[in-house]
Amino acid sequence: MSVWAIGDPHLSFASSKPMDVFGPVWQNHAQVMAANWRELVRPADTVIIPGDISWGINLAEAGPDLAFLAALPGYKLLGRGNHDYWWTSLSKLRQLCRQQGWDRLDFLQNNAFRCENYIICYTRGWLLPGDKAFGPADLKIYQRELIRLSLSLKEGLLLQQTDPTLQLVMATHYPPLAPDGEDTPFTDQLQAAGVSLCLYGHAHGAAGRRSFSGLKQGIRYINVAGDQLGFRPLCLDKTAADLNLC
């Protein structure tokens, strides 16, 4: 059994949001991702999806997108992205999954999951204060996501106490550090907790290629946004040398 990751599917089966306006790599991207997914992922595997899952503005619009993911092989762990306006409380999301029979979907928020040799934690993250688009309204969200990170890491560390050999992995939607690798309060928490792998998305195209990817202070950072992976899920057992990013 393996653990995989792919972010930013940006699905829109019930809303009109074609992604191919952002370049040819996005043409029929949902179908390309599904074909690659079925080729690689087995039913017993787990797939982490760190945000920007659906363009739906509510659960009714997001429903067909969630059903699409539910039908793919593997157990899916979904995290919230900045465009996931449909995201509500965990109780409502899990209730919907029970009603629809989507027993292979679950959600990352203030919690942690053990998957094989990994413990998966999550925060959405947010724009960093050094970003030119960061404004006064962003500060409250930024601080809240730091709290969510702390809560998730606390749960992850409790799980790790049961087996210290488990690898602590942080998934986040926004890149947690600047493109030049400058540390932030997010990375400070990751280092203090002993996280060894950080998966993030959000940054696409040229911005994605400029985002920091590599090893820094014992943590490997990888951009797993769908377009950066050619819409092929990435196996966590892969090393940086094995990656063939587009």
Blockwise average pLDDT, block size 10, the chain, 246 residues: 95 82 84 96 97 95 96 97 95 94 95 94 94 91 96 97 95 92 93 96 85 91 95 82 42
Is 136 contained in some domain? yes
Residue 11 lies in a domain: yes
- The string over 103-140, giving b where at least 16 C-beta atoms fall within 10 Å of a residue's C-beta and e elsewhere, is ebbbbbbbbbbebeebbbbbbbbbbbeeeeeeeeeeee
Beta bridge partners of 235: 4
Q: Tokens representing 226?
A: 């769908």
Question: Diameter of the chain by CA atoms?
Answer: 48
59-to-48, 122, 137, 142 alpha-carbon distances in Å = 20, 21, 26, 25
The residue assigned the tokens 């950066």 is 228
Q: What angle do CA 96, 50, 139 make, to 5 degrees?
A: 100
pLDDT value for 242 = 53
Tokens of 136: 């006064």
Give the angle 73-77-81 at the CA atoms, nearest 5°: 120
Neighbours of 52 (CB within 10 A): 24
Q: Which CATH number do you get for residue 82? A: 3.60.21.10
3-state class of 28 per DSSP? Answer: coil
pLDDT at 207: 81
Q: Is residue 171 part of a domain?
A: yes
Residue 29 lies inside a defined structural domain of this protein: yes
Structural domain count, the chain = 1
* Sign of the Cα pseudo-torsion (149, 151, 157, 160, in order): negative
Domain that holds residue 99: 3-238
pLDDT of residue 104: 95
**pTM for the structure as a whole:** 0.93
Long-range contacts of 94-102 (CB under 8 A, 24+ apart): 96/59, 96/63, 96/66, 97/66, 97/70, 100/63, 100/66, 100/67, 100/70, 102/66, 102/67, 102/70
Instruction: Say if 13 falls within a structural domain.
Output: yes
- Is there a contact between 224 and 175 (Cβ–Cβ < 8 Å)? no
Does residue 245 sit within a domain?
A: no
Are 7 and 199 in contact by the 8 Å Cβ rule? The answer is yes
Contact assessment for residue 229 and residue 246, using Cβ atoms and an 8 Å cutoff = yes
- Please give the helix or strand (H or E) that residue 38 lies within, else none: helix 29-40
Tokens standing for residue 128: 């960093």
CA–CA dist 215, 241 (Å, integer) = 12
Whether residue 244 is contained in a domain is answered as no
Tell me, yes or no, whether 243 lies in a domain.
no
